[in-house]
Structures are given as structure tokens and as C-alpha cells.
Chains A and B, each alone.
Chain A
Amino acid sequence: MKTTILILFTLVFSGLNAQNAEQILEKVDANMSSENRVFESSMTILGRRGSRTITSRSYAEGTKKSFTEYLSPASEKGTKMLKLDKQLWIYSPSTDRTIQLSGHMLKQSVMGSDLSYEDMMDDRKLTDVYEAVISGEEIINGRKTWLLTLTARVSDATYYSQKVWIDTERFVPLKQELYAKSGKLLKQTKLSEVIKVQGRWFPAKVIYKDMLKQGDGTEFIMTKISFDQKIPEHIFTKASLKQ
């Protein structure tokens, strides 16, 4: 009798736990994903021999379309990047050429950062890709967080599993660890400076760290962001790369 009660209790509790985890993830997606967004950012690559900062303006529509124009430094100014579904093109003003990235090139880092072009290609909603389980609670930067363990529910997830620390009040991730199928930690992301924009919480500062590479990571700061803006359709065309 005692065992039956214990099993029932465990099942009910784990069901609730899973449901809560899914709900948490949905709220995270609501904060982090949007129909479209326009933002300006600065990306600081913290290398072994010093750091360098690159600023850019980006337009994104859903998870399939994005367009980025680099604004500084002078060496990168005018470089543009267009992502349409699974294709990525880069325009370089110095050569006045547009090239499509593929194969090995997609594995290379973006402007020497800890982000690869491949990373930029995949930004589906967490709820679309993962099943979540609450694994614990922790304090990060003085804020209470749930630790969610995510396991891929689809076969084509980029990372098989993740650990995500979610702010219990604002429903934004404050830390994220991305794991290979073998369980090896591949990437770590630390998110901070959470601000409220158009009714949603959003981390303005993100530090990406490729755990397999040396260096202190890449700091990504949103200097300006607005959601659900009207973006002209011509932005997401190859013609806009040369304009």
C-alpha cells in the first residue's frame, strides 16, 4: 500500500514537474522569441592578445530570416550577412563579392568570435526542440533560478542536451550550457543586464564561450532593440547585400 502511494506520488509530482518545466520554457520563449526584431549590438571578442569590438545592426524575422550589417571597425564596415532558412551569404565591400558559406566555412567563427556561422543558423524556439525537466534551484548573480535540463525531442537538434538556469521571476535564462550527445560540454552562455523592452524581459548582455577553444569568450551587448517592427521585405533579399 505504502509503495503504491509512493509510486502515485512520484508520478503525479514528476508530471507536475514536467508540466511546470514546459510552462517555464514557454514563458522563456515568449520573452526571447519574437515575430521580428531590429537591434544594434556590439560584439567584443576577448582574445588572448587583447580584445576587439565590432558593432552591427541586425534585422530578424522569425527564425528563418536575418540580415546583419557591420558598422565598425573600419576594416569590417560594410560587411553584410544574409540568412535565409538554411542558406547564408556574406558580402565583403573590399572585394565587392557575395559568397555563399557552406561546409567547412560554416564551422568557422564569425569575425573571430566564439560563435560559428553554424550557431547563427539555428535559433528555433526551445519548446520546439527540447523536453524540459526541472533539476534544481540555484542563485545566479543574486537572483533565484530554476535549473532546467533540456533533452532534444527532435532528431535534428543542434545540441542534444542543455542546462538552462531560468530567472524565476522574469523568465529569462541567466546561464546556458550546451552539450554534445556524448555529454561533453561544448558551449556556455552567460546572460545578464536584463531589461524590459515592450513589455518583455530581455538580457542585453550575453557572453558566449566555446568551451573547446581558448580565450575568454565573446561579449555581445544589445545597445538598441525593438520588437515587432515593420521590416521591408527587400531587406531579406540578396540584392540588399550590395546596397
Chain B
Amino acid sequence: MKLALKLAYRNLIGAGLRTWLNVVVLSFSFVTIIWLKGVMTGWDYQSKTDMTNWEIGGGQYWHNSYDPYDPFSINDSHAAIPEDLDALAKKGEALPMLLIQGSIFPEGRMMPVTIRGVDPDQTLLYLPTSKLDTTDGIVPAIIGVQMAKQSRLNEGDFVTLRWRDANGTFDATDVMIAAIFSANVPAVDLGQIYIPLSTLQDFALLPGEATLITLKNEEMKWPEKEGWIFKSKNELTKQVDEMIKTKSTGQNVIYGILLLLAMLAIFDTQVMSIFRRQKEIGTYVALGYTRQEVVGLFTVEGSMHAVLAALLSAAYGMPFLIWMAKVGWTMPIDASEFGMAIAQTLYPIYTVGLVVGTVIMVTITTAIVSYLPSRKIAKMNPTDALRGKLQ
């Protein structure tokens, strides 16, 4: 085997430019596959982390009528906060939020919004709710960057907010934009305006009520509560998993094309080697090699392309991949249009499993592609091969 490896290495290096062309193409596949898979892993991590930090915490209780995709449901989705969860909220381990529909009128334009009442003292989510803690009689509000862009509102601006209370009576007041936050989670930004929970409960005539309760502790087994549905973090991040699964399927096509190009080159090289090196094959057999050993020698030789490619990839790919992990990849289109938690700049994450898995997958594919043309050797007549007769 050692001799086979030595021979294979010598033959490969001896082939010169042809070998290096194959190795370069294959190494490009290595780096691209690892980078793309890294971007996907990074996206998955970033989306779930952002959703946890900005929206869902460690899971949520939803009022049983609440359905974020059904506007019919929002006005009827509120109930008194269960006592035990209220106690947790006081300890900062749960965050009740009341949602009602309303409209804002920036520059005389009407924009439908969801008004979210949130405790200004909360620290469970990254929302800068401390800015809602004012005592000067002004109703403070915070909005996201995208919402600010759409409504053309800036910090310190006043805007009229109109809503209907629990009985359906219109009410309106001017609110001041106390802060504009930047989050990668559209669900907390687009069409959302945050005011203090107690203020919204007063406005809507819904004292002590909430629509959803965000929990801090992900690990705890949360019990069923009448009138409320528990949504685990996994359920709430399911859309990210589905999105990544869809994107990964699309990416597999790219991997396939890249590998196909590299494998075609290796396949061609193998076919040509066997055609041009018939005398050499005959010599090996004459020297005592079995036909299977010669097949193995050529397969090892072909597979060694993958080893060389892995080494070359490490040489130029590692600095590139490390640099990408640092600066990230900024998407050329506006990520806010995706409608789901995705940052404009994605930071790839490479795991040991990802790198090792990719190397193994490419090496095995290369070995198979190298073996296929080599099978012809087993059918060769060694005497004719020694003579260099075409077979």
C-alpha cells in the first residue's frame, strides 16, 4: 500500500500541469462548499439567536385565539395574565405583552400598525424599552428602523396614534418616538409600535390583560394553562428551519455542478492515463502485480487528487474562510424584504463536522470516479499491454 501511495504520488506530480489543473478545480469546490454550508449554519445560528433575543425568548404562551397570520384574531386575543406568570413577570422571568390594532398618521398618511404594550423595565428582550420609562405626561413609543423608514419618523418626532378600545370606541393621542431600534427580526419591527404596557391596558380598557407572554427559561417544562397555548422555542423557530432546508436544497444543486465539473476533469484524466500508460500497466503485471492491485494503484492515484486539493484548499481557503467569518458576507439585496429573521450581513460558521464531512464526501466521490475508468484495466491482456497494443 505504501508503495502504491508512493507510486501514485510520483505519477501525479510527474503529470505536472494536468494534475494541478484538476487539483485547483477540486480545491475550488472544497472551499465553495465549505463556505456556502458555513453561511447556512451562520444564518441558522444568527436567525435563532436574534429571534430569541428580540422576539421569542425561551418560548411563549399565546392567548388561544391569537394567530399572528390572522388579523381576525388579534382584537379578541387577550386575557388576564395567569397569576403564576404574573409572579414570574415581576421577577423578570416572563414578559407579558398586549397587542391591539391601530393606525398612525405620519405626515397625514394613515398606516395600520400593531400596538404592543410592553413593560419599560423588562430586560428579557433586547428591545430598548427603558426609553419608554418617562414621567412627564408624554406617551413615549419605540419603533424599529424599517418602520421608521416606512413612516419617515425620527427620534423625538410626535405622531398621532389611533386605536379602538375593547368596546370599539375610537381613541387617539400623540405619541413621541423615544427611540428607534435596529433588529434583524421583521416581526418585531415592520408595522409595530411599542408603548408602555400599563398605558396600553388603560387605553384599550384591558387592565391586567395580555396577548402573549414571553418566557426567559427555555429548559423548564412549562405546564398547559387554560386559555393559553404554550409555544416552545423549537416551534417558534420552525420557519427558520424550513427556510434553511429549502435554501439548502437549492445549494445542493450548486454543490452538484461544482463537483460534476471537478469529477469530469478527474474522470477524463483517468481515462487518458489508462489509454496512454498501457505499457506501464503491462509492466506492473509482468512484475507480479495482480490486475486488482493495478486497478487499486490507479484508483489511489485518482483519489490523491482530492488529498492534494484538500491541502491546496487549506493553503488559500483557510485565510479566505477565516476572513469571511470575521467580516461576514453582505447580501446584495435588502434583507428586510425577506420577511423573516435574517441579517443583512451573514457571518459563516464552520464546524469540525462540516469541514471533515466535506473532505470525506469529496474524497469518496473522487475515489469512485477514479475507480470507474480503472475497471477497464482488469479486462486488459497483459501481453498486449506490454506491447503497447491498443485495447
Contacts and interface: CB of A to CB of B under 8 A. Distances in A.
Contact of A215 (B75, B108, B162): B108
A158 B75 contact: no
B162 A212 contact: yes
Main secondary structure of the interface of B (DSSP, over half): mixed
Contact of A181 (B103, B108, B170): B170
Contacts of A214: 107-109
B16 interface: no
B65 to A, nearest CB: 13
Contacts of A105: 71
A180 B71 contact: no
A180 B165 CA distance: 11
Nearest to B72: A102
A103 B101 CA distance: 8
A207 B74 CA distance: 33
A212 B105 CA distance: 6
Contact of B169 (A107, A108, A152, A215): A152
Interface in B163-217: 165, 167-173
A212 B104 CA distance: 9
Interface string A203-218: 0000000101111000
B160 A158 contact: no
Given A212-B110, A212-B160, A214-B109, A103 B170 contact: no
B170 to A, nearest CB: 5
A109 B108 CA distance: 13
A213 B169 contact: no
Contacts of A104: 71, 101, 112
A182 B112 contact: no
Contacts of A156: 167-169
Nearest to A121: B168
Nearest to A105: B71
The listed residue with most B CB atoms (<10 A of its CB), out of A156, A182, A210, A212, is A212
B68 to A, nearest CB: 11
A83 B109 CA distance: 26
Contact of B105 (A103, A158, A213): A213
Contact of B112 (A108, A155, A180): A108
Contacts of B160: 184, 212
Interface string A101-122: 0111101110000000000000
Interface string B59-96: 00000000000011011000000000000000000000
B108 A160 contact: no
A184 B169 contact: no
Contacts of B162: 180, 186, 212
A186 B173 CA distance: 10
A212 B71 contact: no
B71 A213 contact: no
Contacts of B112: 104, 107-108
A22 B216 CA distance: 56
A102 to B, nearest CB: 5
Contacts of B171: 160, 180-182
B169 A103 contact: no
A167 B262 CA distance: 89
B169 A155 contact: yes
B109 A213 contact: yes
B326 to A, nearest CB: 42
Contacts of A210: 110
Contact of A157 (B72, B169, B173): B169
Interface in A141-159: 152, 155-159
B75 A103 contact: yes
Contacts of B168: 156-158
Given A103-B72, A103-B75, A212-B160, A180 B170 contact: yes
Given A108-B112, A181-B170, A182-B172, A103 B107 contact: no
Interface string A181-205: 1101010000000000000000000
A163 to B, nearest CB: 15
Contact of B172 (A102, A108, A184): A184
16 contacts: A102-B72, A103-B75, A104-B112, A109-B110, A156-B168, A156-B169, A157-B168, A158-B170, A159-B170, A180-B172, A180-B173, A181-B169, A182-B171, A182-B172, A182-B173, A213-B108
Given A103-B71, A159-B169, 15 more contacts: A103-B74, A104-B112, A155-B169, A158-B168, A178-B170, A181-B171, A182-B173, A184-B160, A186-B162, A186-B172, A210-B110, A212-B108, A212-B162, A212-B172, A214-B109
The 4 closest A-B pairs by CB, nearest first: A103-B71, A214-B108, A104-B112, A180-B172
